[in-house]
Structure 1
Amino acid sequence: MNKLSKKDVFKYATFARNLDGQENVIRVGAINYLIDQVDEPEKVVIPQFVADWIEKEKRANSQLHSVISTSLNYSNHVENWIDWCKNNKKFTETIARAWLNGYEVVKEPKWVVKLGNSYLYEPMADVGSNGLIRLTRNKIEAYHFESKEMADIHIDKFGGEAEEVLANE
């Protein structure tokens, strides 16, 4: 059966007749079945920075129309916003749908630095003054870089190779 709109639920809902022949008893089972068939809006998929921004604006009790009009003025991730808007011609519709119907966040790849049989445990800023780096043999415990570029910076310093990490790793 195709999904029904909310309007269809009431259109198809019928009343059962009681013993006197009067239509005044609602068939709850039929209503519950029809309600289960209501089409829920599909959630859009957006990047994490857009999700963060939407949540920030909702906490601030912003209005949707002002949120959409100021989306490109969002100070953090300006380059990401511009790229996302260029690649998503209906970005205002996507923002509105995310705001109203909810959203899912794009699973963005993470990167680890593999050095032989081990992985970098912490980023360069955390390297001790003695120049020692901490390693782990457990990929899950390794430091997860947000971008391959950041992993490559560490590879330039320490050697090794960048490895993409799956969402469950």
Structure 2
Amino acid sequence: MTKEEYVKTLKKYMADNELEQEDGLTYLDGIQDATTLARQLDEPKKVVIPQFMADWIEEAKEYYGSELDPLRIVYWTGDYISDNDSHYQWLENIYNQKLLLNAITNGYEVENEIEKYVRLKGFAGTTGYLNYDVNFKEFFVDTTGLDSCTKIKFTKSWLKDNWPEYEAYNNAGLLDFEEVEDE
């Protein structure tokens, strides 16, 4: 039975069987609820993707035109994204490949991550914040008031992708994420 056949059957039951109320609800109310749920069966849920993935999809759309052809976008992404790209390893993961195809096919929302200061527990004073030296690509602990060559605010997904020790520190409960005040 297809979804449409099911909805038609429920509508027929509604027309043929208006019964007495029981606990304030009628048989008709139950059929109407079932009909509403049946209409939602084939509605795919939009997936939540990182910003860089949304950028890939939009770049592929620009390259091929505004017409959304899922296979062309996947082809472009696989062909265009090189192993030098910081998110290449993300694309190698089979789950993420499925997520990309789902996003292209059913639509997507971009995850809204806010950059935060990351304080490592166990440090006294103002020197317990995680920092990243952009030039040397190294993490270190210091204050939050460093120069422009130092990254001091992070999203959890960026840390997960770039800091190998992130999972260990986070799972041990050694990280505090502090909101960044407007500057």
Under a length normalisation based on structure 1, what TM-score does the superposition of the two structures give? 0.48
Relative contact order higher in (CA < 8 Å, ≥ 6 apart): 1
Under a length normalisation based on structure 2, what TM-score does the superposition of the two structures give? 0.45
